[in-house]
Amino acid sequence: MNTNWNQLHEKVSHHLQAIYADVVTDIAVGDLATRLMEIMRLNSDDDIATPLPHCNHWDEEDIIMITYGDSVIQEQERPLFTLSRFLHTYCKNTINNVHILPFFPYSSDDGFSVIDYSSVNESLGGWEDVERIAADYGLMVDLVINHCSARSVWFDNFIKGDGPGSDFFFTADPSADLTGVTRPRTSPLLRETETANGTQHVWCTFSHDQVDFDFRNPKVLMTFMEIIRQYIDEGAKIFRLDAVAFLWKIIGTSCINLPQTHEVIRLIRTLVEHVNPGIMLITETNIPNRENLTYFGNANEAHAIYNFSLPPLLVNTMVTGNCLYLKNWMMSMPPAQNGTTYFNFIASHDGIGLRPAEGLLSDEELGTLVNTMQHFGGKISWRASENGQQKPYEINITLFDALQGTTKGPDKYQVDRFICAHAIMLGLEGIPGIYIHSLLGTSNDYEKVANTGQNRSINRKRWDYRELEALLDSPYSQHHKVLTRISQLIRIRKAQSAFHPNATQFTLQLGNHLFGYWRQSLDRKQSIFCISNITDEEQSILLSDINLIGTDNWLDLISRDQINSSAGFIQLKPYQTVWISNQDME
């Protein structure tokens, strides 16, 4: 018997014991561990490698573009094929990883109410189209692990009381005290459903079309390991664990961030990294910052966590011209251990989440931010708080329109402000994720909101490829300007060793109108001072404040201007960013 197989089997069994310790069941942990390893094709007669701990399988060249499979469409062409063409035409030297948002058959929530996990939505294409993209880019896929569609075969079988899925769903007694359950939505938690076994009240964290799984049943776990194995076979390298914080439920608790949820993620990591050490897990946990950080575990849980506090704090910084709150948060963030990293983003298919800003922005600051975004055409989605009051959950707006002005109103600096925000994000510790509609400078899509009745549709435009092509080829369009300038920043970033996701980072103290941080490469040879004017007025950087070493030659990597360290200061235009480096790595 293979020694490594035995060691892995013991580790998997340990995870399972921790997960199911409090569940009244006749689970044979050893047999379940064997079955999970068989599903992942980790066989006893194979030479199973032991993954190196605290190993970074990423570097400064990694950039992830976030997109729907049909964000770019052309008549009589499969959208995934069109997406591949767009990538090769406009992203060839910038993007090396692509997150295709759920591309499976679905019934609601633009893909996040999955009907069938094993097939590609026919309206998008087929697995061959996914594999084509995966052949040239690192493929990031969604594992919608908390819930599925109420129109799935599994839920049909639950209603019938027979067949696969008939015991997959979490139910609760409506008379139980559920007041402590954390809710991301205002809809009723329980869905009354008539089944062959009588009236059942099915748990629905998000909507009544999204029915929650019951992971107390090991069959659910085994089924999801089969799904993961299939996606790996189809070319997936990065897994986004959607809404995973809500996975385990215990009546009488908040039903979020429970220990069993963390242990399930550790189990998944253990198994996938033995299949391929380069596979990444990213947890999508739109929760307050302190709780979000726990999903790193001890470099044995998520490889990366969404830096959910960054979008609201950075947008707030750009519209107020004050970086105090962003700076305070940055100083509080622990460096990610090797083997883990942050996933930085400032726009996504969802809105600008406000829960991750709780405790970081005051209620007054949040109120001003919400009012400003509404003035810029944004919508607000709400949640029910612990005391039953409605609170803003997220702002629905494109990032381009969110940065069209300041709290004083719209102004002429929209593009410059937008690029400045991306320059800040691209230099930070972690892997950058850029939403396709940020790459393209897309404005609010009010027509789609009217058609769907969903606030989030405002930031989910479908571009006609030929229309988009004409705009991107026109030097006068906002779309050309944005793509050109962001692409330039990405190309510069990818050449700098100091921008490695795990390179050293320190926050600079330059007052509230200049936001800055210092990055140093892992070999300590390259330093970069990243400084942005986050106001609509010129600002001066006192070079004495950043202590440039006089024996080094300093260069702004963006403008290509030489920096004379003996000069007293340099002047920054409104929303200008400089990346001052002692090495030119291009």
pLDDT in the model for residue 247: 98
The sheet with strand 514-520 has its strands ordered as: 504-507, 514-520, 527-533, 577-581, 554-556, 562-563
Whether residue 242 is annotated as binding a ligand: the answer is yes
**Structure confidence at residue 193 (pLDDT):** 98
pLDDT value for 337 = 95
**Which pLDDT score, from 0 to 100, does residue 474 have?**
96
Is the separation of the CB atoms in 164 and 130 below 8 Å?
Answer: no
Report whether 109 belongs to an annotated binding site: yes
CA 315 – CA 299 distance, rounded (Å): 30
**305-342 pLDDT per residue, tens:** 999 999 999 999 999 999 999 999 999 999 999 999 99
Contact 493, 431 (CB under 8 A): no
Strands (E), 444-503: 463-464
Average pLDDT over residues 268-297: 94
Token pair in block for residue 42: 């980790």
Closest CA to 402 of 285, 310, 314: 314
pLDDT of residue 63: 98
Task: Say what the pLDDT of residue 369 is.
Answer: 96
CA–CA distance from 269 to each of 198, 367, 473 (Å)?
Answer: 38, 39, 43
Cβ-based neighbour number of residue 520 at 10 Å: 18
- Name the strand (E) or helix (H) holding 340: none
pTM, two decimals, is 0.96
Closest CA to 468 of 479, 453, 460: 479
Q: Which of 242, 401, 416, 445 is catalytic?
A: 242
CA torsion through residues 155, 160, 166, 170, sign = positive
Output phi, psi for 580, to 5 deg: -90, 115
DSSP letter (8 states) at residue 498: G
- Sorted by where each starts, the structural domains of the chain and their CATH numbers stand as 504-581 (2.60.40.1180)
Pairing of strands 463-464, 431-435: unpaired
- pLDDT of 130-185, one tens digit each? 999 999 999 999 999 999 999 999 999 999 999 999 999 999 999 999 999 998 88
Q: Is 242 a catalytic residue?
A: yes
The reply, when asked if residue 240 is annotated as ligand binding, is yes
pLDDT mean over 441-448: 97
What pLDDT is recorded for position 473? Answer: 95
CA-nearest of 274, 263, 165 to 228 is 274
CB 569 within 8 A of CB 542: yes
Q: Which long-range contacts (CB under 8 A, 24 or more apart) does 505-511 make?
A: 505/335, 505/428, 505/429, 507/327, 507/330, 507/331, 508/545, 508/546, 509/327, 509/545, 510/541, 510/545, 510/546
Cα–Cα distance between 554 and 549 in angstroms, integer? 9
Q: Is the confidence at residue 550, as pLDDT, over 80?
A: no
Exposure pattern of 423-451 as b/e (b: 16+ CB <10 Å)?
bbbbbbbbbbbbbbbbbbbbbbbeebbee
Instruction: Classify strands 390-396 and 379-384 as parallel, antiparallel or unpaired.
Output: antiparallel
Q: What is the pLDDT of residues 371-416, one digit of tens each?
A: 999 999 999 988 777 677 778 889 999 999 999 999 999 999 999 9
Least confident of 110-119, 241-250, 349-358: 349-358
Share of the chain above pLDDT 70, in %: 99
Q: What is the pLDDT of residues 107-143, one digit of tens each?
A: 999 999 999 999 999 999 999 999 999 999 999 999 9
350 annotated to bind ligand: yes
Question: What is the pLDDT at residue 461?
Answer: 97
Q: Is 464 annotated as a binding residue?
A: no
Q: Quick one: average pLDDT of 477-488?
A: 98
Q: What is the pLDDT of residue 82?
A: 98
C-alpha closest to that of 580 among 523, 535, 524, 541: 541
| pLDDT at residue 564, rounded to an integer | 84
From 53, 133, 501, select the one nearest 304 (Cα to Cα).
501
What is the predicted pLDDT for the residue at 295?
97
Say whether pLDDT at 1 is over 70.
no
- pLDDT confidence of residue 24: 56
Mean predicted lDDT score pLDDT of the chain: 95
User: What average pLDDT does this structure show over 470-497?
Assistant: 97
Q: Is the pLDDT of residue 45 over 80?
A: no
- pLDDT attached to residue 544: 85
How far lies 132's CA from each of 88, 127, 139, in Å? 11, 9, 10
Is 147 labelled as part of a ligand binding site?
yes
Whole-number pLDDT of residue 389? 74
Secondary structure (3-state) at 434:
strand
